[in-house]
Amino acid sequence: MTRFRFTVEYDGRPFMGWQRQGHGPSVQAAIEDAILSVTGEAVEVIASGRTDAGVHARAMPAHVDIEKAITPFRLMEAINARLKPQPVAILACAEAPGWHARFDCTGRRYRYRIINRRAPLTFDAGLAWRVPVALDAEAMHSAAQVLVGRHDFTTFRSAQCQANSPLRTLDRLDVTRIEDEVHIFAAARSFLHHQVRSMVGCLKLVGEGKWGADDLAAALAARDRDALGVNAPPDGLSFVGATYAELSVGFTG
């Protein structure tokens, strides 16, 4: 039995999320079905995180245990061939004895893309959130620092969130502008269900001048989902990397 470490990239639009489920296609099921076709083995692929329907990944670490004798390169090539035409690809594959994609992960990173223009999206439709009103990215970044640190994020988590506690430590929440794009980068050991999208939605209100840092702080302090301003759509959200004791996978900023 060999444990393999994958780095997975996918466009989340056709899927109900990462996790295999009975009511629609998932990224996990697509990869597991491809491995079954290659090896004849029914396996479980474990990822460092779980993305929701419509959310993407640029570098999602995952692992799987396979009995068949096969090199990492041949396994990656064979899986990718069988994944076509689904928008999922294994970017890297290596043997990783004893390594666990989820339990060994010490940090997860997300990036949210807002395209700040009046014209409709063409190439980026489904891959970013178009906001036609001019956004003040500097005000958004300044207000975002209210959320950095350890807090009760009840306001910013979905009513369907299954986490035992709403307490999370947000390590970074940075907002930058690159021409007509506004990027929000979030880093933490773990996130609550919809936490990043909820934070982005409220920061959008700050960028529009409808909220200030005090409003964001009040929403956090309320510990009440009804105090949330806006929940951003999944389109612009991507899992971009994860950190482990021995390596960092994906983007760092």
Classify residue 143 as left (phi > 0), alpha (psi -120 to 50) or beta. alpha
Q: What is the pLDDT of residue 65?
A: 98
47 and 123 together in one domain: no
165 and 225 together in one domain: yes
- Residue 129 belongs to a domain: yes
Residue-wise pLDDT tens digits, 66-112: 999 999 999 999 999 999 999 999 999 999 999 999 999 999 999 99
pLDDT band at 55 (very low <50, low <70, confident <90, very high): very high
Residue 253 above 80 pLDDT? no
CATH number at residue 116: 3.30.70.660
Residue-wise pLDDT tens digits, 168-209: 999 999 999 999 999 999 999 999 999 999 999 999 999 999
177 burial via Cβ count (<10 Å: 0-12, 13-18, 19+) = middle
126 and 219 together in one domain: yes
Q: What is the pLDDT of residue 113?
A: 98
Q: What is the pLDDT of residue 211?
A: 97
81 and 145 together in one domain: no
72 and 133 together in one domain: no
20 and 144 together in one domain: no
Measure the CA–CA gap between 3 and 15, rounded to whole angstroms.
26
Residue 249 above 90 pLDDT? no
- Residue 252 belongs to a domain: no
- Residue 250 belongs to a domain: no
123 and 224 together in one domain: yes
Residues identified as active-site: 52
* Prediction pTM value: 0.94
**Domain end: 95, 126, 154, which one?**
95
Q: Which residues contact 189 (CB under 8 A, 6 or more apart)?
A: 105, 106, 107, 108, 168, 169, 171
Mean pLDDT confidence for 10-25: 93
- Residue 251 belongs to a domain: no
* Average pLDDT over the chain, rounded to an integer: 96
- The structure tokens listed for 10 are 């996918």
172 and 122 together in one domain: yes
Domain that holds residue 23: 2-95
- Residue 7 belongs to a domain: yes
114 and 210 together in one domain: yes
Q: How many structural domains does the chain have? A: 2
- Residue 15 belongs to a domain: yes
Where are the extended beta strands (E) located within 179-236?
A: 181-188
**Domain end: 68, 95, 122, which one?**
95
121 and 225 together in one domain: yes
The helix, strand and coil proportions of the chain, stated in percent and rounded to the nearest 5, come to 25, 35, 40
- Residue 253 belongs to a domain: no
111 and 86 together in one domain: no
Calculate the CA 197 to chain-centre distance: 10
88 and 125 together in one domain: no
Residue 114 above 90 pLDDT? yes
Alpha helices per DSSP H over 40-127: 72-83
CATH number at residue 61: 3.30.70.580
